[in-house]
Structure 1
Amino acid sequence: MKELGLDKGFEPIRTGPFAGIRNLGATCYVNSLLQALFFTKPFRTATLNLPTADLNGRSSAFNQQAASLRALQVLFGEMQCGISATCESSVTAFVEACKIHTSTHEDPSELAMLLLSWLQRLIPKGVPDFVEETFGGLVIYETTCRSCGSISRQTEVFAEMRVPLPYAPTTGGEVLLEDLVADVFAPEVFSDESHYYCCACGKYCEAVRRQWIKSAPPFLWITMHRYAFTDGVRRKILTELSFPLTGLDLTSFNARVYDCVGALEHHSTVAHAGHYTATLKDHSTGIWWRFDDGHVREVDWAPVDGEVQAGESPSERALKRRRTAPERASSHTAYMLLYVQQGYKVDDCPDLPSWLAAEVNRKNEALRLPETFDHQRL
């Protein structure tokens, strides 16, 4: 495999502010998710400073998770302070520690939930759950029996909001993210008496279920249902999605107002193959960057004559019409969107822990050696 015109095994020196990540075969979905998590600074800081677990007497499964954590810390450390343009050795160590098959195309949403869950298991007692503090929210389900009027409530934790997309076999048409979210929170009627058992009535009854957010996360993942089974075949839903870059108002559902800071896209017309990229906003500068494995470039969202010029991000169409303020983007490839609460203070990341800084410095020196030898030959 070749990338940036260089043979695999040679790590080019970074020239811009951010590192790409080498694709090891079919790991573009891993790379896109890792970039999004890295750009989520509270999550990055907490991950980098999570104590390395004592593996003595622990189960093999726990040891694997701890080794994966250390590999993730080294990768994030190199992405933050390293000089490699593609972090090949670090991402290879992470993929191997996690036992990720490099030739298999998987789902970044499923990987995100797995990654966050095992990180939570590694948080020592007495240390705040930074995963829940960053991405976790609470939703209340309230079901009302239509026979007796009794109400039952259930509270659940969520780390992402999944929204359905109307099926479209080809590109065309457009749906608004706000409408899809409203559909998620619309009342659900159980008209079939076999669906809801009322304890007060002692029998199955018709009922209405409503839901709303009890606690909104600072960072909100919204994942589209872009895959559906039709005629027994898993197909890609190519419906165009219009979503706000600023001002996603969820106050009607007892949540907050959010601004978009990331989009993970699946580039393909089929469900079983394709390529993932990430377009992410730098909190410090407000600049958007597109990450396509080892290729990194700045992209722009700029209003032009009442429209929004999308540059090459995220759907690579030159101009997108603005419906109403706030500014919007449209994409038939957007799969996961990352939003942050308006007004949420995002601090800069502190220096790396001493052990990690030493490891990154060692990697940097190893990369500088070939450059030194070339100068000596001259």
Structure 2
Amino acid sequence: MGTTGSKLEKSLPSSFPDNERIFGLENFGNTCYCNSVLQALYFCLPFREAVLDWARACVNSKVRNDEDSMLVSVAETFLHISSNKKKFGVYGPKKLIQVLRKNNEAFRGYQHQDAHEFMNYLLNQITEELHMEAKELAPHSVDRTPEMPKTWVQNIFEGTLTNETRCLNCETVTNRDEAFLDLSLEIEENSSITSCLRNFSGIETLNKQDKFYCEKCCSLQEAHKSIRVKRTPNILALHLKRFKYVESVGRLKKLSHRVVFPVELKLNNTTDAAADEDAFFNLFAVVVHVGSGMNHGHYVCLIKIHEQWFHFDDDTVEGVDDSHLHSVFGSAQEGGGNYSGYILFYQKVTA
């Protein structure tokens, strides 16, 4: 580990639990995108506990131990770290990388990959595997269910959006709900997460060739459309869209815009009918993109563990001050500030 265990241990507060383990992750050729997300998910306590509970339940169950399973690979990684006799160390998630590359062609080779795409694939793949497992264990009961029961991944990360469309001719409002595991937010220069969320739910006018077909009017009409959060998730993952395709150069360009994000967040774009419209969230992890472009950068992760922030850079881990967060907001000047917050993880505060 880049920072030795003894040095790291000396920097910990006296209240730091003895049973917590902090391990760096070995890089197997541009696998920082995987390491940074895995660290954030490991220290997402509801997710870690669910993975470990699933792994322990497999010992005496009929669940298949599929060598090509992403869930099995993640569980083995989490078990190795959480049950290790050492408090600090380095682990090589080699099998997980092998399974990932075998199952998904997009992640084969040794080129730089996108951390958000990996997170989406991992959570959706584990959800799919849990659905397959439910069918194997109780095929008849699942067949009688109109829709698949929620998995623990969905219980942790899934929220609900409402697409609201108001016909400007008859004022009829049409609502359509959809689930999400994370929100992807457009960003602007010198902005904040609060303004990004406000813009995400801004009113869009549908007119000209984009008119809305109103079933009450039985014709195409101008309309107002907005997207708001109807149900907040227990873990809110926010993806900042820092890579934009520039047609003139024919490639993706990184937006290093300064986007301020708070440690405590209250959503400002919930629906009036949201059951938890006053919910607060606490920041506990930030996946950071380092570099000027998507295809030749690096990923690190900042994680708050028992009131102490840590900087995870593959196999190197070190404690940092709270003020270190300010260094990953991005830059107020175009082309500056290569350290840019990319994926933010917030946990809902429960009473």
User: What is the TM-score when the length of structure 1 is the normalising length?
Assistant: 0.72
Larger CA Rg, structure 1 vs 2: 1
1:46-87 CA distances to partner (integer Å, 9 max, x unpaired)?
Answer: 11222548577xxxxx95653x32221111111212237221
Q: Which residue of 2 aligns with 1:135?
A: 157
Q: Which residue of 1 aligns with 2:112?
A: 105
1:314-329 correspondence to structure 2 within 5 Å:
315=327
1:239-276 CA distances to partner (integer Å, 9 max, x unpaired)?
Answer: 11111112x12155244221211111100112221110
Is the partner of 1:149 in helix, strand or coil? coil
Q: Which residue of 2 aligns with 1:160?
A: 182
Is the partner of 1:20 in helix, strand or coil? strand
Q: What is the alpha-carbon distance in structure 2 between the residues aligned to residue 65 and residue 153 of structure 1?
A: 40
Amino acid corresponding to residue 293 of structure 1 in structure 2: D
Is 1:339 aligned to 2:346, yes or no? yes
1:320-343 CA distances to partner (integer Å, 9 max, x unpaired)?
Answer: xxxxxxxxxx99511111111123
Q: Residues 240 and 331 of structure 1 are in contact (CA less than 8 Å); yes or no, is this contact kept in structure 2?
A: no
Q: Residues 289 and 338 of structure 2 are in contact (CA less than 8 Å); yes or no, is this contact kept in structure 1?
A: no
Q: What is the alpha-carbon distance in structure 2 between the residues aligned to residue 316 and residue 121 of structure 1?
A: 34
Is the partner of 2:302 in helix, strand or coil? strand
Is 1:149 aligned to 2:171, yes or no? yes
Distance 1:64 1:157, change over 3 A: farther
Amino acid corresponding to residue 83 of structure 2 in structure 1: C
Distance 1:69 1:332, change over 3 A: closer
Amino acid corresponding to residue 223 of structure 1 in structure 2: H
Amino acid corresponding to residue 284 of structure 2 in structure 1: V
Q: What is the alpha-carbon distance in structure 1 between the residues aligned to residue 338 and residue 345 of structure 2?
A: 14
Distance 1:145 1:128, change over 3 A: closer
Of 280, 283, 292, 1:257 maps to 280
Q: What is the alpha-carbon distance in structure 1 between the residues aligned to residue 326 and residue 31 of structure 2?
A: 20
Deviation at 1:314, TM superposition (A): 6.0
Distance 1:114 1:333, change over 3 A: same
Distance 1:150 1:260, change over 3 A: same
Indicate the RMSD between aligned Cα atoms, in angstroms: 2.8
What is the aligned residue count? 299
Q: Which residue of 2 aligns with 1:39?
A: 43
Is the partner of 2:89 in helix, strand or coil? coil
Distance 1:14 1:332, change over 3 A: closer
Q: Which residue of 2 aligns with 1:94?
A: 96
Distance 1:135 1:55, change over 3 A: closer
Q: What is the alpha-carbon distance in structure 1 between the residues aligned to residue 158 and residue 216 of structure 2?
A: 33
Q: Residues 8 and 319 of structure 2 are in contact (CA less than 8 Å); yes or no, is this contact kept in structure 1?
A: no
1:148-200 CA distances to partner (integer Å, 9 max, x unpaired)?
Answer: 2222110000111111012xxxxxx6211111110001111112243422222
Is the partner of 2:170 in helix, strand or coil? coil
Q: What is the alpha-carbon distance in structure 1 between the residues aligned to residue 96 and residue 215 of structure 2?
A: 49
Q: Which residue of 2 aligns with 1:73?
A: 75
Q: What is the alpha-carbon distance in structure 2 between the residues aligned to residue 13 and residue 293 of structure 1?
A: 18
Is the partner of 1:273 in helix, strand or coil? coil
Q: What is the alpha-carbon distance in structure 1 between the residues aligned to residue 31 and residue 75 of structure 2?
A: 18
Is the partner of 1:315 in helix, strand or coil? helix
Distance 1:27 1:195, change over 3 A: farther
Of 241, 246, 257, 1:225 maps to 241
Q: Residues 64 and 98 of structure 1 are in contact (CA less than 8 Å); yes or no, is this contact kept in structure 2?
A: no
Is the partner of 2:346 in helix, strand or coil? strand
Is 1:25 aligned to 2:6, yes or no? no
Deviation at 1:15, TM superposition (A): 6.9
Q: Which residue of 1 aligns with 2:146?
A: none
Amino acid corresponding to residue 78 of structure 2 in structure 1: F
Amino acid corresponding to residue 85 of structure 1 in structure 2: G
Q: What is the alpha-carbon distance in structure 2 between the residues aligned to residue 20 and residue 117 of structure 1?
A: 25
**What residue ranges of structure 1 are gaps of 5+ in the alignment?**
6-11, 57-61, 167-172, 302-309, 318-329, 345-378
State, as a whole percentage, how many aligned pairs show the same letter: 22
Of 235, 239, 244, 2:262 maps to 244
Q: Which residue of 1 aligns with 2:143?
A: none
Amino acid corresponding to residue 179 of structure 2 in structure 1: V
Q: What is the alpha-carbon distance in structure 1 between the residues aligned to residue 268 and residue 199 of structure 2?
A: 15
Q: What is the alpha-carbon distance in structure 2 between the residues aligned to residue 207 and residue 286 of structure 1?
A: 47
Deviation at 1:104, TM superposition (A): 2.1
Amino acid corresponding to residue 91 of structure 2 in structure 1: C
Q: What is the alpha-carbon distance in structure 2 between the residues aligned to residue 105 and residue 236 of structure 1?
A: 14
